[in-house]
Structure 1
């Protein structure tokens, strides 16, 4: 991730060193941005209870409550420096578009653990023809027998960009496989494809017969 700066004129967060025709001020180093993003993702997707966050059924939490929880109740590491501007910058500039901000609330748009019971209404994708999913090579034999399952998450994560699939796979293994998925096969098999972000798609399940090619890395 790149550092985040703040515009000294309009106050907007940016990855650029100039904005509104003037030099910006450093808000988050690349390292701090990545650490805070990972923590926010963990709390908002998987374990809000560890810091006592009040999350509604659509995944929203108050930004001020999230900041207070990270600063004072996260048990690992010192995040006392975190302010609302840091959280907003991470959410608004996330390269994958994982976060959504409305008024004084924030949420992750996808990737929630099933046990949280989050219910977000997604637009149905009726147009994509081909989608991609990355996995560790060790999982491939089971996938070809049983299909791609969401495991502990609510949905299987798919993408319109094979580079995203590769990046996701390499986070877990150096030996990976990128699956090419026939999206129309999913629909004909009774599984809707949902739009989470510009590139991320979601499905309840991917049957083995909908996997059309495999590329190894």
Structure 2
């Protein structure tokens, strides 16, 4: 299995109106709604604003991380430091990106949106996640140069609320590659984490969260080069 991180365009079905990544839907060719470049750029900006710095565009965020979609769009178009690059953004673009995000980074409820996970500690956010009591193996992508420290301290959330884990080793490798040219993937015994009294939470279909991963629960270090060959 090859590791890929290509952002797909978003299309809209001319028959049912659904947003999709497929060029054919309802038996008809779909219409391009958002190209790959704009999708990736806006998605990254949405993640930054909803996870780390809502105040930079004057967003009012509640204690559960919710903001109004209209306020987010207005802030991006008019108050973001590079707002001239985002004059094209409409509410529908934000909704489409949130709905089709492959990792479930965003959640929409009515006229509001929030990041599901990844918030900085400086944001006083508390989200009620369901607990994961079944998953046995989890993965975490990181840089090889951090391994010595991790072998002593385990995995800590650093400047975020939680350590981010995944059920997919390929996804973990992709995350590691964002931080290092020489990434590795840590294989984690989830039951070991629970045995230390640490809950594991479900943030999305593939993402799990924990306050800490003890070093004894890291059972193997995997090479990303080997994962790419699977």
Give the aligned partner of residue 58 of structure 2: 52
Aligned length: 217
Normalising by structure 2, we get a TM-score of 0.92
Q: Distance in 1 between matches of 2:215 and 2:153?
A: 6
Q: Distance in 2 between matches of 1:8 and 1:51?
A: 34
- 1:63-212 alignment runs, 5 A limit: 63-76=69-82, 78-212=85-219
Query: Which one has more relative contact order, counting CA pairs under 8 Å at least 6 apart?
Result: 2
SS at match of 1:171: helix
Q: Distance in 2 between matches of 1:200 and 1:97?
A: 8
More displaced, 80-89 or 5-14?
5-14
SS at match of 1:138: helix
Q: Deviations over 1:27-63 (max 9, x none)?
A: 1110110000000000001110100111111111111
1:5 maps to 2:11? yes
Give the aligned partner of residue 228 of structure 2: none
Q: Distance in 1 between matches of 2:29 and 2:136?
A: 44
RMSD of the TM alignment (CA)?
1.1
Q: Distance in 1 between matches of 2:144 and 2:25?
A: 44
1:215 maps to 2:208? no
Q: Deviations over 1:58-117 (max 9, x none)?
A: 111111111111111111251000001100110000011111111111111111111101
Gaps of 5+ in 2: 1-6, 225-230
